[in-house]
Structure formats: structure tokens, C-alpha cells
Amino acid sequence: MDSQYVSRTLGRCLSEALAELIELRPLDPIEFLALWIRKYKHNQELELQKAAHQRELEEEKRRVHEENLHQRDLEEEENRIRAAQHVPEPTDESKPDLCEDEEDQPSEILNTEEDQSAGTEADAPERTEEDPDETRVEKEEDEEDDGA
């Protein structure tokens, strides 16, 4: 039972490690074997990560391809609808140039009478009740200025 477990879990790793151990004959074979097995495990984990990343990449490529097909189908359907309605496709020449439009329009916008009256009422400052003493003082100052 124990030999089956070892052969199943460490079979390839251990056989490769022992083959390299015999070939290199390090001074400390136990430490070499431990480090070699640790490195082997690390490499196996990297291979699993690489495979997972590759699967994700393939899935993303598939999604992009499907999206491109969908966009092409939508464009074809739009072209069929335009052809059925006899509506010409917009071209760059038929699109208005914003710079030309700005030159043609006057710089000030004229308001109608309603807009002007609404604007003056909205723009006018709020009237507040004045203090009667302040009004009297201002009138007296104006009279003194007129009399002089």
C-alpha cells in the first residue's frame, strides 16, 4: 500500500530526482534531493497556472470573436434595413462641420418679447422693504445737494 502511494504521488518526480542525484553526486545528497523536489513542485504549480491562464486567454479570444461576429451581423442588418427604406448611408461629406456652422450663426441669440420680459424679471434684484429712517436720510442728503 505504501509503495503504491509513493509510486503514484512521487513516482516520476522521485525517479527524475534520483537520476539527477546519481549524475551530479552532490556533497549533501539529502539537501539536494529536498531542494530538487521543492523546485519540482514549484514548477508543477507554475505549469498549472500557465495552463489556467492559457484557458482564460482562449476563452477571451472566443468571446471577442463572437462579439465581432455579432457586430458584423448588426451592421449587415442595419444595411438591409436602410436598403429596404431607401435611406442613403451617411457619408463624411454629408456630416455638418461644426466650425462652419459656428461661423454662419450670429454670436448673440435674439430673444422674443416673452423671453426678454421673463429674463428681465428673473434678472431683477429682489426688492426689500427699506427702512423708513434710511429713506428719510437719503432724501435729506439729496435735498442738500440740490440746494447747494
Residue 36's Cβ-count burial label (10 Å; 0-12, 13-18, 19+) is buried
> DSSP 3-state helix, strand, coil percentages of the chain (rounded to 5)?
75, 0, 25
- Report pLDDT for 39: 95
Residue 131 has pLDDT above 60, yes or no: no
pLDDT, greater one: 22 or 9:
22
> Model-level pTM?
0.43
Confidence check: pLDDT of 34 > 80: yes
pLDDT of 126 reads 55
Q: For 94, list phi and psi in degrees, rounded to 5.
A: -85, -15
Lowest mean pLDDT among 5-9, 24-28, 96-100: 96-100
Q: Average per-residue pLDDT in the chain?
A: 77
Q: Which of 10, 13, 18 is nearest to 43 (CA)?
A: 13
Please state the rounded mean pLDDT for residues 68-91: 86
Give CA separation, 60 vs 46, 47, 54, 72, in Å.
21, 20, 10, 18
- CA 61 to CA 69: how far, in whole Å? 12
79 contacts: CB under 8 Å, gap ≥ 6: 89
Q: Phi and psi for 59 in degrees, rounded to 5?
A: -65, -40
Distance CA 30, CA 122 (A): 92
pLDDT of amino acid 133: 58
Among the residue ranges 92-96, 98-102, 131-135, the one predicted with the least confidence is 98-102
**Over residues 23-43, mean pLDDT:** 94
